[in-house]
Structure 1
């Protein structure tokens, strides 16, 4: 079976679906779009297993600006993504991120704050007394301060956002195929077709790699080495006997982070980079919680000494091993092949901006709304990393 599409997007998670929506909603683009998604239930995709966090407290201006656009987008989401005048509810909860700091972190905290405030981020620096007053349930004895997002940060339901992009895209003419892409055909320096597991050959004018943790495999079909690897991350859900009020998403100096989720809490922690292998399974390491995360939780919040683990699950980051930042735009040689990869846990919150940016690249040949050239594939060839100092 053969067909031809102007744009084929490999991956129908929130990044792929956002690109499809923005392309089809761009008046200057009149082409056909097909999204290939091997898991139509979205049960095992990175999006559905995301914490759904949205923050502006980054140290890289481009990351800040992308998250600022997400806030703008969420403010008009029903107008943009509503179908048949049905309101869109992604359960956005604005609560803020709180980065805690020891003495050694204070210079970086101030440096980040200067960048954030220069771009209009509503963020406050807190000393230990501020922390003690604002969060009386927290042990602050070993802290030197913190940085709190005062507005424009929080969390949402990741699955709902993905479905909103998908439903709207379908309603305006995007096609979704519940198949698995298995390879490419090439013609010189272009990808000419995407091959599917049922034998279908989809001719393509442009191909977008939005395959999340599988991005490196998709890139290899075009003969490209992409430093994006599937790295497993755990979310642990627990209940606490003591009521904890006014809790933001807290990032401890140890890297352990937690936030409320209804009447319960979610907690997690990224492993040491030297003990973070590529991984595709979904098995949960309960020992990581018992031996590492819980003791830190109990130290930071004494009430967390008496908690009950209720649930746990695993998901995968599309981890950029160079610098944990996005890889965006066309390949310098395979010129009709576009990257939207390597978000390392930030894909959901950056999806509206990335969708708009990639749509502009395909339609106009340039970024217009955001200057994201720093995230191009070219830096992978030179090894010039973009150092983001607020990685979570």
Structure 2
């Protein structure tokens, strides 16, 4: 029997493994089971890898606040340069979205976030290259928001966890049971603690134990595009339509929320090029005149680990099986929250409780009780 088996070796599972192995009070062994060791379909490897403070849920703000501090120290902690850029986020709201934006802003200011509200005149003054057509209000994060090399973070967590003694097994969990997992190879690993951090497939794995976990894969397409004349310094911008864009090196990347009826959990991991033609480019061309001549040069698709219950992470012990811990369902926010969640889960395992950030509100109990914690700022 091993002390801890982690199902999923992406950024979340590897963060948990690394935090466990570096805890001076933990002397046990950790086995990480990853079915895709090349990370060809892993959400961590296919993420747009951004980080923000502008959430509607205070706990999400706290998770990402720790995350930005961790990313800034990544060269010291993980021996990796993540290329962190911090130009901020810019949320745009129409008349219909103004009230929600103001309510979110009040939450963020109450948590000490560096955010400002911009009316159309102030928006034009700050970003003269952007059209304010249809915009009633904007929320701009002036610090602690940006983007980074997410795949590098995942690989650094994995590399450092292995250096500290964590064992990675290339296999797939086909059966979950209290204190044990059965692998597709036929092997069984018994463990004192099982951590389910299988990303978009966490719901499928939980179902093998008869557990209803509302997490499923939802496809998102990301388009890389070039423009003739870059408009100027650009934050990660979210249009009222849900379309977003930001710089990526000498190019830009962008995407959108799929149209109703085109977001099934069974969708193949294939780029939806029609989204660019029908939904993304028209919005970009209208919002940023310099993007009217945008040309797609690359694209990829990845899965969100989408929590259908309330779009927030599910973290902590499963009430019916004390030895089973969840770390999943982050609905597109997992890579930015992986440092804080990894630390918290390690504390829960080693010390029996959360010590630095209480994640109990994100426990499974809210699901069984039917009491969602709605995150309104889901991109």
Shorter-chain TM-score tier: over 0.9
Q: How many equivalent residue pairs?
A: 379
CA offsets 1:259-316 (integer angstroms, 9 cap, x no match): 1111111111112455421135222211111011111111111222111111111110
Q: Match for residue 144 of structure 1? A: 136
Does residue 340 of structure 1 match 2:332? no
Q: Distance in 2 between matches of 1:69 and 1:79?
A: 16
TM-score (norm 1): 0.94
Where does residue 251 of structure 1 map in the other structure? 238
Equivalent in the alignment of 1:71:
68
2:199–2:328: 8 Å Cα contact kept in structure 1?
Answer: yes
Counterpart CA distance in 2 for 1:223 and 1:330 is: 16
The answer (yes or no) to whether the contact 1:170–1:176 under 8 Å persists in 2 is yes
Q: 2:215 aligns with which of 217, 220, 228?
A: 228
What is the CA–CA distance in structure 2 between the aligned matches of 1:335 and 1:223, rounded to whole Å?
A: 15
How far off is 1:327 after superposition?
0.4
8 A contact 1:236–1:311 mirrored in 2:
yes
Pairwise CA distance, 1:128: 1.0
Q: Quick check: 2:34–2:171 contact (8 Å CA) kept in 1?
A: yes
Unaligned segments of structure 1, at least 5 residues: 83-87
Question: CA separation of 1:232/1:139 partners in 2, compared to 1, >3 Å: closer, same or farther?
Answer: same
Q: Is 1:112 matched with 2:104?
A: yes
For residue 58 of structure 1, give the secondary structure of its aligned residue in structure 2.
Answer: coil
Q: Give unpaired runs (5+ residues) of structure 2.
A: none
Q: Structure 2: how far apart are the matches of 1:30 and 1:273?
A: 49
Q: Please state if 1:15 is matched with 2:12.
A: yes
| The one of 170, 186, 201 aligned to 1:178 | 170
Shift >3 Å, 4+ stretches: 272-275
For 1:75-90, what aligned pairs fall within 5 Å after superposition?
A: 75-82=72-79, 88-90=80-82
CA distance in 2, matches of 1:116, 1:23: 31
- Normalised by the length of structure 2, the TM-score is 0.97
| CA distance in 2 between partners of 1:272 and 1:336 (Å) | 40
Distance apart, 1:103 and its partner CA: 2.3
- 1:1-392 to structure 2, matched below 5 A, reads 4-82=1-79, 88-184=80-176, 186=177, 191-272=178-259, 274-392=261-379
Alpha-carbon distance in structure 1 between the residues aligned to 2:133 and 2:179: 61
Q: CA RMSD in A?
A: 1.3
SS, match of residue 267 in structure 1: strand
Q: Distance in 1 between matches of 2:68 and 2:275?
A: 34
C-alpha contact (below 8 Å) 1:239/1:307 kept by paired residues: yes
Q: Is the 8 A contact 2:49 2:147 kept in 1?
A: yes
SS at match of 1:41: coil
Contact persistence 1:235–1:268 (CA under 8 A): yes
Aligned 8 A contact 1:234 1:284 in 2? yes
Deviates more, 1:207-216 or 1:367-376: 367-376
Which piece of structure 1 moves more, 270-279 or 6-15?
Answer: 270-279
Distance 2:52 2:272 in 1: 27
The alpha-carbon deviation at position 38 of structure 1 amounts to 1.2
The SS at the match of 1:93 is coil
Task: Tell me, yes or no, if the aligned pair for 2:72 and 2:84 is still in contact at 8 Å.
Answer: no
CA distance in structure 2 between the aligned counterparts of 1:7 and 1:280, rounded to whole angstroms = 32
Give the Cα separation in 1 of the matches to 2:266 and 2:276: 18
Q: Aligned partners of 2:220, 2:67: CA distance in 1, in Å?
A: 24
User: Deviation of residue 79 (structure 1)?
Assistant: 2.4
> Secondary structure in 1 aligned to 2:27?
coil
SS of the counterpart of 1:44?
coil
